[in-house]
Amino acid sequence: MTHKERLQAVVEGKKTDRPAFAAWGPHMNLIDRNAKDFAEATIQYQNTYQFDFIKLMPNGMYFTEDFGQQLKPAEHIFDDTWMNVEKSAIKDPHEWAKLKMPDIKKGALAREIEVCKRVNDYFQGEVPVLATVFSPYIWMGEMTGGFFHPETIIAHFTYSEKYTRPALEMIAETNARLMEAFVDAGAAGFFLGYQCGMAKLMGKEMFDEYARKYDVMNIEAVKDRTWFNMAHICHGDAETSEWFLDYPVDAFNWADQEEGQHSIAEMRKLTDKVLVGGLNHANGRSYHDLAGRYLPSSDFAGSNREVIKARITRKVKAALEAGGPKTVISGGCGWSEGSLPRFGLWREVMEEIGQEA
């Protein structure tokens, strides 16, 4: 089976020659500002690891660049962009009224479209390519302090609707135009990023009005021209993640291995969509996140190859049993750079499980 055939079979709930798998992460920090370098690195990444779809891995702030967000270039591979904001696009709610819709044929947006086209031109449709976009409410959150200050955009929505509502609608329209351009460049679908943690802070009523309404509008606009749209439900908890289950997408990805989240078995009872997960993507030692939740270490952690292989095999088989044929094996978010040396071992496991079947 080709990668496209394998993923299509998963979407249809049909038997595959081996389990489908994919991984992504902040692996392009040093070259993601140059379209040629970025595309070539993505092609090399796919040719090395042979994943069943390509999730394009731009810096998570790329959309905000054309609105005036100033980002410091990465100095090394571990230098994540979200840590390198030198100047936020919006510091005061009145500034939302000054934003102008960017030209997607110029700047950072044009760069990302070019990367998508270059990668698709190389693989000629045999490897599905998912362009990365985030919800309009996430883009606005990133413009006002992002991960460190999510309360800022919520305050703007609450107290400054006169300024935020027109900006939200303009940003949603920009997102729509960008998504159409990605499809024209060959994207098979989208990696749709939704911050479940921010949604929880917003509350259900605000979420429905400022997030869901525009998310669904953006997805519906491209749904008939794409065939694999995956909602990435990041952070949050099991209860809040259920707010996204009626989104018109083909697959869900979330941190099923983390405390307080639905397991694959639990999520399978809630939806018949493709489930993407099964492995722990964390790196290094176990730790507690900013919300105080315990996060176990990566399933790739350790020095003994056979121990790691046995662990991966056990976890993959458990995920497939719980999720059924409509399951893609991955982590719940981006894999760290320290995981890359184990991707070959992971592929070996997937091939052996396919041979057993």
pLDDT at 187 over 90: yes
Rounded to whole angstroms, the Cα distance separating 25 from 78 reads 11
Residue 52 DSSP label: S
Tens digits of residue pLDDT in 107-151: 999 999 999 999 999 999 999 999 999 999 999 999 998 878 899
Q: What is the pLDDT of residue 188?
A: 98
Q: What is the pLDDT of residue 291?
A: 54
Tens digits of residue pLDDT in 293-311: 545 578 998 899 999 999 9
Residue 345 DSSP label: H
Rounded to whole angstroms, the Cα distance separating 106 from 81 reads 21
A 10 A CB-CB count for 47 gives 11
Percent over 90 (pLDDT), the chain: 87
- Tell me the CATH number at 110: 3.20.20.210
pLDDT at 287 over 50: no
Q: What is the pLDDT of residue 83?
A: 82
Choose the weakest-confidence range: 34-38, 132-136, 146-150, 265-269.
146-150
Q: What is the pLDDT of residue 284?
A: 43
* pTM, to two decimals: 0.94
Question: Which pair of tokens denotes residue 206?
Answer: 């605000």
Compute the average pLDDT of residues 256-273: 96
Band of the pLDDT at 292, cuts 50, 70, 90? low
Q: What is the pLDDT of residue 357?
A: 85
Range of the domain at 138: 3-356
Compute the average pLDDT of residues 166-191: 98
Q: What is the pLDDT of residue 283?
A: 55
Rounded to whole angstroms, the Cα distance separating 94 from 162 reads 9
Among residues 69, 104, 71, 108, the alpha carbon closest in space to that of 90 is found at 69
Rounded to whole angstroms, the Cα distance separating 354 from 19 reads 7
The larger pLDDT score, comparing residue 162 to residue 288, is at: 162
Work out the mean pLDDT of the chain and round it to a whole number: 94
Rounded to whole angstroms, the Cα distance separating 69 from 129 reads 27
**What is the number of residues in the chain?**
357
- Answer for the pair 133, 178: CB distance below 8 angstroms, yes or no: yes
pLDDT at 290 over 70: no
Q: List the Cα angle 142/145/149 in 5-degree steps.
A: 115
pLDDT at 88 over 80: yes
Rounded to whole angstroms, the Cα distance separating 111 from 59 reads 12
